[in-house]
Amino acid sequence: MLVLVAPGQGAQSPGFLAPWLELPGVEDQLRAWSTILDLDLVYYGTKADEDEIRDTAVAQPLLVASALVSAQQLFPTTDDLAARVGVAAGHSVGELAAAALTGVLSNVDALRLVRKRGLAMAEAAAVTETGMAALLGGEPDVVLPHLEKLGLTPANVNGAGQIVAAGTVEQIAALVADKPEGTRKVVPLKVAGAFHTQHMAPAVAALATASKQRVPADPRTRYVSNKDGQLVASGAEVIDRLVGQVASPVRWDLCMETFSSLGATALIEVAPGGALTGLAKRALPGVQPLALKKPDHLEAARTLIAEHAAPAE
């Protein structure tokens, strides 16, 4: 069974969209979306520097747009994806891409919603100087009490020995200076706020209001939620969870447990892939992962689809 996943914020890097623009129709599609969003996706995906694309209001629409254009090279329509993919999910903002890919939202509605999400989270992040850091290694029963002692939130429980802490810059600095026993490394992340914590509460209300303007459909492909790793069959519930997830921890560990329990044999991470593929390599033995980082990887992805996906009807 094939799993399709979309990465979250921090996966972006300067110029990562440039090779995708060489494919027929991609630049036109991105320019059309740029007009709708009043955000130059082509510029930010090809010429902007690291600081520019760290901006939450830029990074989030950019990531969802890249996920959609890369996935469409493999699955041109929602029907194509539903026929071949067994389950889909996204990490944090990647859930908006997954909602579009599974047919819960149209591409344009997903992009409009993620544009609102990015702006609202950037505004919330501006209230207090906050950040996030990944802890590599260490046991949860040691790491989690240590984070609580420092006043930090385990914003992403990613599995495979990785937990992402979030809080004020002072709390993150204290963590770097005093990491939990057994933790190999603490790596500050290229994000502009303490996402998935109480610091994002103001963004929840803004996103809830924006989401009421969308009419979701039920997912065509099985959809796994970051909230608890459970399958969600109702489009309305998918949207409710997407809204609340802005200020709640991401449980990617539970998502991967669900992939395994459903019989996953292969996993493709759409552009700009890498982080989720790395987690899958460590947490999902026997599952063949592939990161769709650039168009050169499309042929390998098609081979993986042919080997692991449900046969096309």
Strand partners of residue 223: 88
CATH of the domain at 30: 3.40.366.10
Q: Is the pLDDT of residue 190 over 80?
A: no
Mean pLDDT throughout 255-280? 96
Return all residues near 188 (Cβ < 8 A) that are at least 6 apart.
131, 132, 133, 172, 176
**What tens digit of pLDDT does each residue of 153-172 get?**
999 999 988 999 999 999 99
User: CA 109 → CA 81, 105, 115, 208, distances in Å?
Assistant: 19, 6, 10, 14
Domain annotation covers residue 109 = yes
pTM of the shown model: 0.94
Let me know whether 167 and 85 are in one domain: no
Structural domain harbouring 29: 2-125+198-308
CATH of the domain at 162: 3.30.70.250
Let me know whether 183 and 102 are in one domain: no
Percentage of residues of the chain with pLDDT beyond 90: 91
Annotation says 297 is catalytic: no
Domain annotation covers residue 313 = no
Residue of 196, 211, 225, 248 marked active site? 196
Q: Residue 153 and residue 85: Cα distance in Å, rounded?
A: 34
**What tens digit of pLDDT does each residue of 100-133 get?**
999 999 999 999 999 999 999 999 989 989 999 9
Let me know whether 241 and 95 are in one domain: yes
Residue 160: the pLDDT is 86
Closest-CA residue to 102 (of 77, 139, 124, 126): 77
Let me know whether 180 and 264 are in one domain: no
Domain annotation covers residue 243 = yes
Let me know whether 32 and 98 are in one domain: yes
Q: Cα angle at 216 between 233 and 269, to 5 degrees?
A: 65
Element (H, E) at 132: strand 130-137
First to last CA, the chain: 16
Domain annotation covers residue 65 = yes
Sheet with 222-223, edge to edge strand ranges = 222-223, 87-90, 2-6, 266-269, 288-291
Single residue among 188, 212, 234 that ends a domain in this structure: 188
Let me know whether 234 and 251 are in one domain: yes
Domain annotation covers residue 193 = no
Q: How many alpha carbons fall within 13 Å on the CB side of residue 110? A: 27
Residue of 66, 70, 92, 248 marked active site? 92
**Mean of pLDDT over the chain:** 94
Let me know whether 157 and 287 are in one domain: no
Single residue among 188, 212, 232 that ends a domain in this structure: 188
Mean pLDDT throughout 81-91? 97
Q: Is the pLDDT of residue 312 over 60?
A: no
Domain annotation covers residue 171 = yes
**What tens digit of pLDDT does each residue of 203-230 get?**
999 999 999 988 999 999 999 999 999 9
Let me know whether 252 and 274 are in one domain: yes
* Total number of domains in the chain: 2
Radius of gyration of the chain (CA): 18
Lowest mean pLDDT among 15-19, 54-58, 93-97: 54-58
**What tens digit of pLDDT does each residue of 246-255 get?**
999 999 999 9
Single residue among 138, 164, 188 that ends a domain in this structure: 188
**What tens digit of pLDDT does each residue of 273-299 get?**
899 999 999 999 999 999 999 999 999
Annotation says 92 is catalytic: yes
Residue 10: the pLDDT is 86
Let me know whether 210 and 182 are in one domain: no
Let me know whether 110 and 135 are in one domain: no
Let me know whether 304 and 211 are in one domain: yes
**What tens digit of pLDDT does each residue of 19-49 get?**
999 999 999 999 999 999 999 999 999 999 9
Residue 311: the pLDDT is 58
Residue 313: the pLDDT is 37
User: CA 74 → CA 69, 184, 272, distances in Å?
Assistant: 9, 38, 15
Let me know whether 136 and 264 are in one domain: no
